[in-house]
Amino acid sequence: MSSHTISLEQLLPILMSKKPPPKGDTHLPFYFSGGFGWSTQTNGTFLATQGALQMFAQLIVFPWMSKKLGSLRTFWITLSLYPLLYLLAPYLALLPENFRIPGLMVLLVGKVTFQSLSYPSLAIILTNSSPSKRVLGTLNGAAASSASICRGFGPTISGFMDGIGEAKHMSGLAWWTIAGVALLGWGPGFMLQEGRKMPTCTIEDEEALLDSDSDAASIITLTPDEIVETTLSK
């Protein structure tokens, strides 16, 4: 997900900056080129609206959806819709001029909303998958490192594919490439399971249990009340 979402950040301004499609030079569904023909200033002004949209999605939409559906189902929804967003994005340049800005606004709202839903949901899923607070640092470190590697390769691959697409008169090639990457994420994404919420005991409580005669593995299955009772009895 880090790979294709950072590629989206790269490809969206490129789409808005490319010259409009030449008339009579389009052979659907795959062979077409062009964009919106906007200036750098117009691109910056339009992209600046992401801030307000991001705050609304992060503070209002995500808590509501997460409460209604849970973190895992919320993540699955965004996982399912990302490829569709990428497949349709390059065709926005072919819309009539009056429909281009509304179409691009839908793309921008989808982009911001999906990111605001997917990343916090993954963070919650990751935390709930941990059997103990003692390994949260390792888990988060591994997740951040792998995400950083993918963020490095993502724009490199999508930029390379965009260059090939321009040469072959296929402006959508880079978009369809990251749609393929998003589809690959369906495999591990839909295999995820809702982990048990980690007990709310402190690390000191866990160390006390580890020093006791009880089996250390029981920390994983004890409820918070059972942990308190076990600690007090020892």
How confident is residue 214, by pLDDT bands cut at 50, 70 and 90?
A: very low
Q: Is 94 exposed, middle or buried (0-12, 13-18, 19+ CB in 10 A)?
A: middle
pLDDT, one tens digit per residue, over 90-107 is 999 988 888 988 999 999
Cβ-based neighbours of 104, under 8 Å, separated by 6 or more = 16, 36, 46, 92
Amino acid (one-letter) located at 205: D
Please give the distance of CA 115 from its chain centroid, rounded to a whole number: 5
Percent of the chain residues past pLDDT 90, beyond the cut = 40
CA angle, 6 then 107 then 184, to 5°: 50
Cβ-based neighbours of 88, under 8 Å, separated by 6 or more = 107
Categorise residue 34: left if φ over 0, alpha if ψ from -120 to 50, beta otherwise: left
DSSP code, position 129: T
pLDDT, one tens digit per residue, over 94-143 is 888 889 889 999 999 999 999 999 999 988 888 888 887 888 888 888 88
pLDDT, one tens digit per residue, over 58-94 is 899 999 998 999 999 999 999 999 999 999 999 999 8
**Residue-level pLDDT at 162:** 93
How confident is residue 197, by pLDDT bands cut at 50, 70 and 90?
A: low
DSSP per position, 158-206: HHHHHHHHHHTTBTTHHHHHHHHHHHHTHHHHHH---PPPPP---HHHH
Contact assessment for residue 83 and residue 179, using Cβ atoms and an 8 Å cutoff: yes
**Residue-level pLDDT at 111:** 92
CA separation for the pair 115, 154 (Å, rounded): 16
Model pTM above 0.85: no
Contact assessment for residue 138 and residue 127, using Cβ atoms and an 8 Å cutoff: no
Cβ-based neighbours of 120, under 8 Å, separated by 6 or more = 58, 62, 66, 71
* Nearest-10 crossing angle of helices 2-17, 136-167: 30
How confident is residue 189, by pLDDT bands cut at 50, 70 and 90?
A: confident
The domains of the chain, with CATH numbers, are 2-191 (1.20.1250.20), 203-233 (no CATH)
What mean pLDDT is predicted for residues 205-214? 48
**Residue-level pLDDT at 225:** 52
Q: Is the pLDDT of residue 218 over 50?
A: no
Query: HSE-up of 216 (CA within 13 Å, CB side)?
Result: 8
